[in-house]
Amino acid sequence: MNKVLLRGAFLVAALALSACEKESGIDIAAKNMAVATTNTIQIVGNGTWGMVGQQFSNSGAWAQIPVSNYSMTIDYAAGASHVQMTRTEPSDADKIPNTAFRKEYFGFLGANGEEYLSGTSAWNVTATNPAAVQAAAVADRTAAVHSTPHGFLKLAIANKAPYRETRRGGDTTFTVGNQKFYGRFNAQHDLELVQTWIDNPVLGDMLIQTQFADYKVYGGARFPSRITRIVGDHPQLRLTVTGVKANAPAAITVPDEVKNYQAPPIVVAEELLAPGVWHLRGGSHHSLLIDQADHLIIVEAPQTEARSMAVIAKAKELVPGKPIRFVVNTHTHFDHSGGLRAYVAEGATVVTHAVNEEFYKKAWAAPRTMNPDAMAKNKAAPKFQPVPDKYTLSDGKRAVDIYSMRGLTHAEAMLMVHLPTEKVLAIADIYAPAPADAPPPEAPIPGAVALIENMERVGAVDVTKVAAMHGTRVGSVEDLLIDSGRMQPKGAKAKAKAKAK
């Protein structure tokens, strides 16, 4: 052996030794939690769960529901998860101020929500649908898998994440594709915090933070006993972990309906309500188009930019050559505001409740690196027309009266729109007419009662057509009177009632 080779061998040995001595904090954390040999994990516990984007007030938390029997099963190699929980009614002590707990959310996924992920497929199993595809949930559910201690450490190791020692312990920052990850460790090399970001139509690059505290040993598996997941600024999950099982069979299989799922095309079906006024319906969320003298008004920009693009195209097809000058936003729930930015990019002014302006300004100032939309690309500055109690948009001929509603449990700040000449009322969420052949409600629908009370309070009672932002059809004032208990059903409704008995 010559001298050079000898020196080389010595160097390699020395490097190997120093690598051993300086074992990364990530490796130590992974060893402490047996990450390499943990292929699946089941976490059970109880706590509270919140619906992101369904805040009562803009400053308040996501609508919170206590959950028991929470379980999350993950198959790390398959990138698969199964979450189920039992949602329960909060006691007064559980009620979080400013959230106006809403019974309507009991219906969401049923009492036992079951949420699945496998690779790039996400679906829910509900009482009525064994394979309800949730394409928009893939990023969130994948982030949840990566935001478990084992998931994060596996991802960090696979991506050769650098470890940095800090005064308190250590941390790591790395990216996978266009997604950023940050992890923080304490002096015992326990993972305390994971941060990552996913794209959201309202919040842009939306921060998801998962905090881990009070590590314990569960049947041989080391795991945090408290997990808090904060999405945007508010908790989405607070979990007290009562049990952890490593390497139990996960058995998550993708149903054929999910495997063969093709996203339906975005449809915009128009119905003329009065000259120059159309109800523009989609699969689940609708808008209103109003043709003014030299511009257009759109009421509601739900869901996503893609939905807005389709509605804008339909508006330009029905009324060519006029700019969309105003978009009226009924409330800030994300499914009703996710498409607003497309109208800002078009140059439209956002007409919304006065208290919402600051919320949107802050949300829309956030970076949008993951999925830049038209507003981010053309750097459009949003313009707002705040609505205090009442605001009227008029072209000198047609008045569009916009009112702030009161006394709702759905959202603190909510608008309804009344066209007094055309006798059309536009309303979101609190009321939508049931199908024409559905039996009338057993008891007055609270949202219908609240709507009638608000119409009477502001004097917007001259209505023949109720254009809701959900539902399958335009309602009549009779529908609203029956649903609010002000009128006895007659005709088809009375027949449906007799048939239901």
For the segment 24-63, give every residue that binds Zn ion (CB under 5 A). none
- Cβ at position 229, least distance to Zn ion in Å: 22
**Do the Cβ atoms of 147 and 137 come closer than 8 Å?**
no
Judged by beta carbon, residue 25 or residue 447, the one nearer Zn ion is 447
- Cβ at position 344, least distance to Zn ion in Å: 20
Q: Does 238 bind Zn ion (CB under 5 A)?
A: no
For the segment 397-436, give every residue that binds Zn ion (CB under 5 A). 429
Judged by beta carbon, residue 122 or residue 427, the one nearer Zn ion is 427
- Cβ at position 371, least distance to Zn ion in Å: 23
**Do the Cβ atoms of 126 and 109 come closer than 8 Å?**
yes
Stretches 26-34, 62-70, 332-340, 398-406: which one binds Zn ion (CB under 5 A)?
332-340
Residue pointed to by tokens 């053309």: 378
For the segment 429-468, give every residue that binds Zn ion (CB under 5 A). 429
Residue pointed to by tokens 């993951």: 370
Residue pointed to by tokens 């009161």: 406
Judged by beta carbon, residue 82 or residue 333, the one nearer Zn ion is 333
- Cβ at position 429, least distance to Zn ion in Å: 4
Stretches 167-175, 308-316, 329-337, 446-454: which one binds Zn ion (CB under 5 A)?
329-337
- Cβ at position 333, least distance to Zn ion in Å: 3
Helix axes 149-158, 138-146, angle to 10 degrees: 90
| Alpha carbons 87 and 109: distance in angstroms, whole number | 10
Judged by beta carbon, residue 286 or residue 333, the one nearer Zn ion is 333
**Do the Cβ atoms of 115 and 84 come closer than 8 Å?**
yes
- Cβ at position 498, least distance to Zn ion in Å: 34
Long-range residue pairs from 365-372, CB within 8 A, at least 24 positions apart, any chain: 366/203, 366/204, 366/205, 366/206, 367/204, 367/205, 368/199, 368/204, 368/205, 369/178, 369/205, 370/178, 370/179, 370/197, 370/198, 370/199, 370/204, 370/205, 371/199
**Residue 338, token pair as written in the block:** 């996710």
- Cβ at position 89, least distance to Zn ion in Å: 20
> 82 pairs with which residues across the strands?
73, 116
**Do the Cβ atoms of 359 and 58 come closer than 8 Å?**
yes
Stretches 17-25, 67-75, 303-311, 330-338: which one binds Zn ion (CB under 5 A)?
330-338
Q: Which residue lies nearest Zn ion, judged by its C-beta? A: 333
**Do the Cβ atoms of 467 and 456 come closer than 8 Å?**
no
| Alpha carbons 409 and 104: distance in angstroms, whole number | 10
| Alpha carbons 285 and 57: distance in angstroms, whole number | 22
- Cβ at position 290, least distance to Zn ion in Å: 22
Judged by beta carbon, residue 332 or residue 349, the one nearer Zn ion is 332
- Cβ at position 410, least distance to Zn ion in Å: 6
Judged by beta carbon, residue 232 or residue 489, the one nearer Zn ion is 232
Judged by beta carbon, residue 285 or residue 333, the one nearer Zn ion is 333
Q: Does 333 bind Zn ion (CB under 5 A)?
A: yes
- Cβ at position 352, least distance to Zn ion in Å: 13
- Cβ at position 56, least distance to Zn ion in Å: 10
Stretches 121-129, 192-200, 284-292, 331-339: which one binds Zn ion (CB under 5 A)?
331-339
Which of helix, strand or coil describes residue 485?
coil
Judged by beta carbon, residue 331 or residue 493, the one nearer Zn ion is 331
Judged by beta carbon, residue 325 or residue 410, the one nearer Zn ion is 410
For the segment 110-169, give every residue that binds Zn ion (CB under 5 A). none
Which of helix, strand or coil describes residue 398?
coil
Size of the site for Zn ion (CB under 5 A): 2
Judged by beta carbon, residue 54 or residue 121, the one nearer Zn ion is 54
Judged by beta carbon, residue 246 or residue 413, the one nearer Zn ion is 413
Q: Does 305 bind Zn ion (CB under 5 A)?
A: no
Could you give the count of Cα atoms lying within 13 Å of 33 in the half-sphere of its Cβ? 27
- Cβ at position 54, least distance to Zn ion in Å: 7
| Alpha carbons 146 and 155: distance in angstroms, whole number | 7
Give the length of the chain.
501
- Residue in 329, 323, 327 with CA at minimum distance from that of residue 349: 327
Sign of dihedral through CA atoms 136, 141, 146, 147?
positive
| Alpha carbons 205 and 239: distance in angstroms, whole number | 25
> 60 pairs with which residues across the strands?
none
DSSP 32-59: HTTTTT--EEEEEEEEEEEEEEEESSTT
**Do the Cβ atoms of 69 and 253 come closer than 8 Å?**
no
Stretches 59-67, 141-149, 333-341, 401-409: which one binds Zn ion (CB under 5 A)?
333-341
Judged by beta carbon, residue 74 or residue 428, the one nearer Zn ion is 428
The residue ranges that bind Zn ion (CB under 5 A) are 333, 429
